[in-house]
Amino acid sequence: MSAGRAPRTAGLTVAVVGAGGALGGALAQRLADTTSGSAGRAESRRISLAGGGPGRTGPVESVDEAAEQIDHPHDIDKVVGIDASQRPLTGVTWRRVDPWSADLAASLKNVDAVVHAAIDPDLTSQVSERGERASQLTANVLAACDAAAVKRFVLVSSAMVYGAVSDNTVPLADDGDLLADGTLSVVQDLLDAEAQVEAWRRTTSTAVTVLRPAIVVGESIDTVLTRHFEAPRLLVLKDSTPLWQFAHIDDLATAAQCAIVHGIDGTVPVGCAGWMTQEEVESISGLRRLELPATAVISAAERLHRIGVSPAPAGELDYIRYPWVVGTQRLAEYGWMPLWTNAQVLEALMVQASGRTTIASRRLGRADATSLTAASAAAAVLGAAAIVRARRRKLGG
């Protein structure tokens, strides 16, 4: 019997650890908007779409409608937000507790599923919450789930853990090797979290789901990859062949819901259907490219990061250089399809980026003299590197 025809049981309580952050807060709010009987359902933001998916008679127009199209045996009746700081979220029950503390287990009492979204790729996250502290956080969340006898654990990871390399398959296999080198701090944190979760899975009765979304985009999401589209021109490394795929926060939320209510175990990639070429991205975004030699740009990026100008290590450049797109067949088997297309997400991202200027992953403000200095430094280093490289080619020829 398929999950869609299974008898319905009592509603579920889902806790989002890290709901005080941008990613966790957005997930908690959207999960709350799709709970059964939620007052927020009628007020869910309407989303205009061009098409539907298998089993649909027309386009899906809202987050709550998408949730209704997931035929499942359970409902999520309650969403609990867990973090030391509290966001103004509608329909979310708050339990204010530090996720690193021993009090976390008590806050998970009577919770059916836990979504660990506290490893936030947001660039405003504190550096002190990276590395060893992030590792301790994951260990504490897993121990708390054991103590509270949680039935399902969901880790919000990223497709970035697959790594961006020239010979990646398109799309990547769900169970493909994790080739990321971990030079990006948040990627290393996610690799560590996934390793801990895999080891824990072998010793626990709790079911485990690992969500690996493509580039997550939403109103409050601020990452290295979303800032890429705030630059005056799109940086392209010479001879690179990037492919672009996005995952809107709305779709990540319904993917989490689908995984929880259907009990989907293991790795679950999340993204818009298909992908976009660099040329398509430039056409839709309206941004022209700035094409520079890869060696010079990577060397410059390493120096900028080392002196504190750029918040992103040079390894970030691989993710705009090589393809790392995923398929969504696992979720589609349970009736899930993305609300958003890649083109629609990019259009929304460009609206979000309007009025912002970012150079070397650092967002600039008009009155921010330090940032302006950083921009000058970034432009000077990248420009000089390109000029030197061009001169060398000319002399050599």
Q: What is the DSSP string of 228-260?
A: GGGSSSEEEETT---EE-EEEHHHHHHHHHHHH
| Buried/exposed code over 326-349 (b: 16+ C-beta within 10 A; e: otherwise) | bbbebbbebbbbbbbbbbbbbebb
**Residue 389 falls inside a structural domain:** no
Q: State residue 392's pLDDT score.
A: 56
Task: Label the pairing between strands 243-244 and 234-237.
Answer: unpaired
**Residue 394 falls inside a structural domain:** no
Closest CA to 163 of 307, 318, 16, 296: 318
Q: Which two tokens stand for residue 191?
A: 């690799």
Q: State residue 128's pLDDT score.
A: 54
CA 108 to CA 85: how far, in whole Å?
17
Radius of gyration of the chain (CA): 21
| Buried/exposed code over 30-58 (b: 16+ C-beta within 10 A; e: otherwise) | bbbbbbeebebbeebeebebeeebeeeee
**Residue 375 falls inside a structural domain:** no
Closest CA to 91 of 120, 117, 122, 64: 64
pTM as predicted: 0.82
**For residue range 200-219, what is the model confidence (pLDDT) as tens digits?**
999 999 999 999 999 999 98
- What is the share, in percent, of the chain residues with pLDDT greater than 90? 61
Instruction: Return the top range by mean pLDDT from 6-20, 238-252, 356-370.
Output: 238-252
Closest CA to 31 of 86, 93, 119, 124: 93
Helix %, strand %, coil % of the chain (to 5): 40, 15, 40
**Residue 142 falls inside a structural domain:** yes
Q: State residue 209's pLDDT score.
A: 98
- What is the share, in percent, of the chain residues with pLDDT greater than 70? 74
Domain that holds residue 40: 3-226+238-288+321-355
Average pLDDT, integer, range 281-286? 97
Closest CA to 22 of 124, 93, 116, 115: 124
218 burial class (0-12, 13-18, 19+ CB within 10 angstroms)?
buried
**For residue range 368-397, what is the model confidence (pLDDT) as tens digits?**
434 334 444 454 445 544 544 555 555 655
SS3 92: strand
What CATH code is carried by the domain that includes residue 57? 3.40.50.720
Q: State residue 360's pLDDT score.
A: 52
Q: State residue 166's pLDDT score.
A: 93
**Residue 385 falls inside a structural domain:** no
**Residue 301 falls inside a structural domain:** no
Q: Which two tokens stand for residue 68?
A: 């209704």
- pLDDT(74) > 90: no
- pLDDT(78) > 80: yes
Q: Which two tokens stand for residue 295?
A: 């060696």
**Residue 340 falls inside a structural domain:** yes
Closest CA to 190 of 134, 246, 245: 134
**For residue range 315-333, what is the model confidence (pLDDT) as tens digits?**
788 999 999 999 999 999 9
CA 174 to CA 397: how far, in whole Å?
46
Average pLDDT, integer, range 153-176? 96
DSSP 276-297: EEHHHHHHHH-PPEEEE-HHHH
Q: What stretches of 305-361 adopt beta strand conformation (E)?
A: 357-359
Task: Label the pairing between strands 234-237 and 215-217.
Answer: unpaired
Provide the mean pLDDT of the chain: 82
Q: State residue 124's pLDDT score.
A: 61
Q: What stretches of 99-138 adopt beta strand conformation (E)?
A: 113-116
Q: Which two tokens stand for residue 141?
A: 């969340």
Q: How confident is the model at residue 122 (pLDDT cuts 50, 70, 90)?
A: confident
DSSP classification of residue 62: B
C-alpha distances in Å from residue 344, one per residue of 47, 61, 208, 272, 331: 10, 13, 31, 10, 20
CA 167 to CA 179: how far, in whole Å?
11
**For residue range 35-60, what is the model confidence (pLDDT) as tens digits?**
855 544 433 333 322 223 333 333 34
SS3 348: helix
Q: What residues are paired with 247 via a beta bridge? A: 216
59-63, 223-227, 340-344 — which is least confidently predicted?
A: 59-63
- pLDDT(97) > 70: yes
Q: State residue 388's pLDDT score.
A: 47
Closest CA to 122 of 114, 110, 130, 133: 130
Average pLDDT, integer, range 170-185? 89
Average pLDDT, integer, range 3-15? 64
CA 118 to CA 16: how far, in whole Å?
8
Domains: count for the chain: 1
Q: State residue 220's pLDDT score.
A: 83
Q: State residue 257's pLDDT score.
A: 96
